[in-house]
Amino acid sequence: RTITLEVAKMYEKSKFYLNTHADWRGRIYTNSFFISYQGGDLSVSLLNFWNGEPISYEGKTYLYIYGANSHNENNISKDSFEKRIEWVNKNYEKITNLDKDLILSAENPFIFTAFCLNMREIYNNPNFIMKTPVFLDATCSGIQHLAGLMKDLELGVNTNLLPQTEKEIPEDIYSYLLSYINEAINKYGKENVEYNMLSFVKLDRKHIKAPIMTKVYNVTKYGISRQLYSILKGEKNFILEQEKKAIEEISKDLEENIRTNKRKTRFICPSNDGGKIYLNGKEIYKMAEIINDQIFVVFPSLNVIYNYFINMTKLSIKLDIPLNWITPSGLQITQRYLKQKKRIVSVNLFGKIKKIVIKENEDKLDNARQTHAVIPNIIHSLDASHLINLIKSATKDNFHPIISVHDCFGTLPNKMKDLDFKVKKEFIDLYSNSQFLNNFHQRFIQNIKDNQFDIIDKNGKSFICFDKGRNKRLFDLSPKEILEIPSLPPEGELNLNLILESKYMIS
């Protein structure tokens, strides 16, 4: 923090630019250290645009929404725009007086402090030139893109891609899944004596948000279990004194659970009677498995699109053909992860021996990584295309400034309504005009043909039939083998044009 503040002081009265770069999927990142709108709470709070303008009535609306979001008292950022504005009006005096307790209770105290300072300036001078950016964040962006990709109505409903008013509460896919997940965990505990403790579990939204958010990027069951470990905070080898009274009030089953796990790493989990229970690592992993499975049970279309991309990738591996696609913004992407070998080299540095790990690529495909990475890479390339197309369109319309943290969009408060419209419009265009799924599929088919494989169409399905001898690379295939090419996922009934009437696609 000290260095960040020193850097900020250095550039306090100077105009400067933050250089950006795009990774191989097209995602845009800032290159700067310490000061960046893609940084943490303090870093973001210190940044202003060089040019600003007096706040308009409309701009004040979005400033209030952003202020409520940054404080997030009682999860107000998930409530309606109307309620968020009411929260600011209710706390107006505290905000303009920089109330210490209010600021310190904020989820993002530095950003909220910047908001309070701006509110005080506007109160003292209605013509104050407002230069601070405000941001609106997409609702579970990865699932939004999958909903657009498949035109899936159910996913669209739960990620705010349908018409709403600012009085309505935004849909929250995490809360929607929570009841299904808890019910499945409790049911498993009741039906399996070994996991009896799971029948008492009652997870909160915060416990499942990370697993659901990252499941879109193909997080594994093990990855979900690690997220739960972090959130539930393992307590090792002891029982906290302040928990003893609570233990006495819990059923004998829970007390026995605590005793038997006394010498193991245990995790504190909320129970459905309002108390707490203690779970071991094995029970946490089982919960991770159930969470993973329930996401697909509740939203079967996710399973369809996952299986499509993963099976296409496995087919490309078996045929030893490239896996590539062209994004809607025109970027050609080839996914090719190679296996790595590690060498440890000892270096004598100032009289001390230091060991350095050197990684070298082998000329061999990493099949596991190739399969595991395809879904996040495709989704990241799509959200990158959305942003790039947005910037291109805005530049053409002479609309500025725009800054982003991937699926979080920022500008001056006065311009947020227009930016919100442009974000929606480019999303609609992305999935109405580009036909990404069909293009991905046809490009894959062409790759098969270019590599001299014959394709046979039968009963509405496509198959590859070949002789092993025709391609010496295919050493793992039987002399004659038929492989089915995965079918394109069916298109749903989501009317993309209705997204323009959504209030909370970004909120």
Catalytic residues: 137, 209, 407
CA–CA separation, 10 and 13 (whole Å)? 8
Residue with tokens 């070298």: 360
DSSP single-letter state for residue 29: E
First to last CA, the chain: 29
CA–CA separation, 496 and 494 (whole Å)? 6
Residue with tokens 């997204």: 499
User: Nearest 5°: phi and psi at 459?
Assistant: 55, 40
**Hey, is 26 helix, strand or coil?**
coil
- The answer to whether residues 362 and 340 touch, using CB atoms and an 8 Å cutoff, is yes
Angle, helix 173-191 to helix 205-215, in steps of 10 degrees:
100
CA–CA separation, 378 and 437 (whole Å)? 10
HEC string for 59-105:
HHHHHHHHHHHHHCHHHHHHCCHHHHHHHHHHCHHHHHCCCHHHHHC
Beta bridge partners of 22: 28
Q: DSSP string of 443-480?
A: HHHHHHHHTT-EEEEETTEEEEEEEGGG-TT-TTS-SE
HEC string for 239-296:
CCHHHHHHHHHCCHHHHHHHHHCCCCEEEEEEECCCCEEEEEHHHHHHHHHHHHHHHH
**Cα separations in angstroms, 66 against 76, 264, 307, 314, 480:** 11, 44, 38, 44, 62
- The answer to whether residues 98 and 113 touch, using CB atoms and an 8 Å cutoff, is yes
**What number of other Cβ atoms are within 10 A of residue 353's Cβ?**
8
- The answer to whether residues 383 and 389 touch, using CB atoms and an 8 Å cutoff, is no
CA–CA separation, 26 and 387 (whole Å)? 9
CA–CA separation, 50 and 59 (whole Å)? 18
DSSP single-letter state for residue 13: T
CA angle 265, 267, 269 (to 5 degrees): 165
User: Nearest 5°: phi and psi at 478?
Assistant: -70, 160
Residue 402 half-sphere exposure toward CB, CA atoms < 13 A: 24
